[in-house]
Structure 1
């Protein structure tokens, strides 16, 4: 049983061949695909895919930091409306901070992130955190919640051992490991040797970050098996153990029982 904890299969890159993409995922052994929202423009497409593949695809609701601008409060109102009227969402995500492209709306990004953390606690949902060029800010926002019931995933973790250790202080959180771990110049394999298997989950971030050997092509959920093989090699254990361990971790975060 493989789980892709982070996949955007509802975006336009998949409109031509989604059934085949899903079939390849199933053939690769994928049992669950968790889908993070981006903003109000993606909710319908995401829900449509999840409703077409019930028990296989699960939606989250949230406002992605790169979609935060001067009208972010309107976007948050949409998120809140869905949160308060539907119980089909398994997490609030993806949320967080992104200072890679643009720092213009840093203040608004922080406010949106904090508000969505509060909702996660209010609705007893995990959060999925996007962090790009923003580690210190993320840590600072998260620190007051260390002793709360907050749980979730630090998505696309690619940091140092020191950063991993700081994130592991948040006991209810996992580190999301994706195709970056297979890249030739990645330092992630080295970092992972300091992280217990009990604290990681696997993800593809499809259609991005395609793992070796398909790097450069569109990513899809079936490729989670390439990430699994690399992680098994790093931990020097069988792929089966990684599969079982990371699946238990993922289902625990999302509150789903096998």
Structure 2
């Protein structure tokens, strides 16, 4: 199936590992040129070079902390300078948290707000004008099932991802007249390196069977009884970027193996 993506340009935050990297490879396989943003310069540069060689596309790695205004500006500038603008923006950068509402500091709340919400706001403000000049585009915000079905131990993550979901809806109505489609994706359990790292840490003192721990998590939360892979999630993102999703505007899509409990 021709998804109509060849020679498009995509900006992906958190693009050097996990979900962001899988989305990058999925888009590159469709002929999309890439701007990958991540904090670790060596890794993001290496992954950009690897993808460019593997898929025959152009790819640039940008070392930037998108939780800062300076970081987002560096990403916006890279898209403009290297490709004359972008057609696709994937706001993917993010991380889990662990705290209580009563004990979490203002600084921690602000840090997650900047990473999950303000990064998306600033990048949309900077890249949407590029898309408008190019005839339109797609913005996808990677939120979480926790935006609507919170886990008890990460209230800051839950709240900021919920805000990202609402931002997506508001932005979609503002940009659709410019032929820019905005949608949100709420993944469930996706087997990222962060999940594996956490599972190893939690089982280190009890025999180190991290795979059994992850299976227990999947058995508890997901009717499908397993984690999804980053590649499975990436397929959905690639579809939403494509011409085949041309009537998808302002929606939130759950990719969660049945984890979402409500209708």
- The answer to whether the superposition gives a TM-score over 0.5 is no
TM-score normalised per structure 2: 0.42
TM-score normalised per structure 1: 0.43
